[in-house]
Amino acid sequence: MFESVPVNPPDAIFGLNELFKNDSNANKINLTVGVYKDASGQTPIMKSVKLAEQILLDNSTTKSYLPIDGSPAYRTAVAELILGKDLSGKALASTAQTPGGTVSLRVAGELARRVLGVKTIWMSNPTWANHPKIFGQAGLEIKQYDYLDESGTGLDFEKVKASLSSSQKGDAVLLHTVCHNPTGVDLSSDQWTELGEIMKTKSLLPIFDFAYQGFGEGLEEDASPIRKFVASGGEAIICNSFSKNFGLYGERVGGITAISQTAEAAAAMQSQIKSTIRTMYSNPPIHGGAIVQTVLTDADLRNTWEDELTGVRERIVALRSQFVDKMAALVPGRDFEYINRQRGMFSYSGLSKDQAEALRNDHSIYILGSGRINIAGMNADNMDGLCKAIASVL
Ligand SMILES: Cc1ncc(COP(=O)(O)O)c(C=O)c1O
Q: Where are the domains of the chain?
A: 10-45+302-393, 65-297
Q: Which residues line ligand 1 (CB under 6 A)?
A: 34, 100-102, 128, 176, 181, 209, 211, 241, 243, 249, 254
Ligand 1 midpoint to CA 200 (Å):
26
Please confirm, yes or no, whether 209 is among the known catalytic residues: yes
Long-range CB pairs of 42-48 (<8 Å, 24+ gap) are 43/247, 43/249, 44/247, 45/247, 46/246, 46/247, 46/305, 46/308, 47/304, 47/308, 48/295, 48/301, 48/302, 48/304, 48/305, 48/308
Tell me: the pLDDT tens digits for 230-240? 999 989 999 99
Of 3.40.50.300, 3.40.50.620, 3.10.20.30, 3.90.1150.10, which CATH number belongs to 10-45+302-393? 3.90.1150.10
The neighbouring-strand residues paired with 209 are: 176, 239
Distance 34 CA to ligand 1 centre (A): 9
Mutate to test the pocket of ligand 1, among 104, 105, 241 (most ligand atoms within 8 A of CB): 241
Has this prediction a pTM greater than 0.95? yes
pLDDT band at 88; cut points 50, 70, 90: confident
Alpha-carbon span 119 to 288, nearest angstrom: 33
* Residue 33 in this model has a pLDDT that exceeds 90: no
Over residues 218-247, mean pLDDT: 96
Tens-digit pLDDT profile for residues 327-336: 999 999 899 9
Residues contacting 95, CB < 8 A, separation 6+: 69, 75, 76, 78, 79, 255, 256, 257
Dihedral angle of Cα 20, 26, 28, 30, to the nearest 10 degrees: 60
Domain 65-297 belongs to what topology?
Answer: Aspartate Aminotransferase; domain 2 (3.40.640)
Q: Is 300 a catalytic residue?
A: no
Provide the Cα torsion 301, 305, 306, 311; round to 10°: 140
Q: pLDDT band at 130, cuts 50/70/90?
A: very high
CB of 131 within 8 A of CB of 174? yes
